[in-house]
Amino acid sequence: MKFKKIYGAILFAVALCTYNSLFAQSNTKNRKWETVLELSAMPAYGYRMIGQVSPDINGGFTEVGLKDSFAQSDKLLSTLNAFATIQKRGKKYNGNTYGIGLVTSGFDRVKTGNMFGYEVIPDVIYDNQVVAGEMEVHYQYRSTYLVGLYAWDWRIDGISLNIPQGSLWIQLGAMPALMLKHGIKVHTVGFEIPDGNNIWIKDYIRTTAQNRVIDKTEAQSPFGNVYFTVSSKLEYEIAKDLHAAITPRIMQPMLPDSKGVQHYWAPVFGLQVGLLFSLGD
């Protein structure tokens, strides 16, 4: 009986030491990754949500005609964005992220075929040059912002969703944005205009009277904007001190990116790919 008590005490002591060791290792690992630096790039697509449309009635345009034209010619615009963020992780599967980034939004308006009887750029008219759709003009509406990020994070994996050496997070946040550049990049396919086949112009509103253009007013763009962002992040340990993450992200601007012939908002959606570094001990 005495031997059994001693044997039981030894087993209990071994189990207790093992638990304490594992718990300590887990706590040490969690503390090490309480503060995390992430450097990431995000290939993305932009598009547009059009609000008010203001046609040049005297110039022969109508609101219905412009909306039909936009629906036929507007395409996705591919962009590349970058972020540097720091995440502070709490002890109850939550955290906060803050950081900075460069974000380009916009869309691509492609003119082909019979849609080509117009000014490619102001004062340079190219009429009836497209044959069988072989020539195109891409009007890439672009806005580039310097953004800040503040977001709330929740870890959603656990007992019911076990990811070995990984974790799954969702994020809701806001991005105040300072506009660095706004304009239209004109790219021609199949021919060149005098300044080449890649030029930058400003968006403008044309006013016509008595069959001639009497005014071209530059479209208004905001000094700044605010994006609402939602994302999910899959993080995976690739080395002891290095993690990788992929993050599908959607960004929706609160203010119009431009107020010209059309008022448009340009949401961005993409796949963020990053490397994570622990800033803990």
Q: What is the pLDDT of residues 165-183, one digit of tens each?
A: 888 999 999 999 999 999 9
Q: Are 38 and 95 in contact, with CB atoms under 8 Å apart?
A: no
Mean pLDDT of the chain: 80
Residue 64: CB atoms within 10 A of its CB come to 10
Cβ-Cβ contacts under 8 Å for 15 (sequence gap 6 or more): none
Q: Which residue has the higher pLDDT, 41 or 17?
A: 41
pLDDT of residue 64: 85
For 244-261, letters b (16+ CB in 10 Å) and e give bbebebebbbeebbbbbb
Segments making up each domain of the chain, as ranges: 1-32, 34-278
When pLDDT is cut at 50, 70 and 90, the band that residue 233 belongs to is very high
Let me know: does 155 contact 93? Beta carbons within 8 Å: yes
Neighbours of 107 (CB within 10 A): 23
Query: Which residues sit opposite 50 in a β-bridge?
Result: 264
Quote the pLDDT of residue 215. Answer: 67
Mean pLDDT of 45-63: 84
Domain 34-278 has CATH 2.40.160.20: yes
pLDDT band at 113 (very low <50, low <70, confident <90, very high): low
Question: What is the dihedral sign for C-alpha 194, 198, 200, 204?
Answer: positive
Q: What is the pTM of this model?
A: 0.79
Name the more confident of 240 and 48: 48
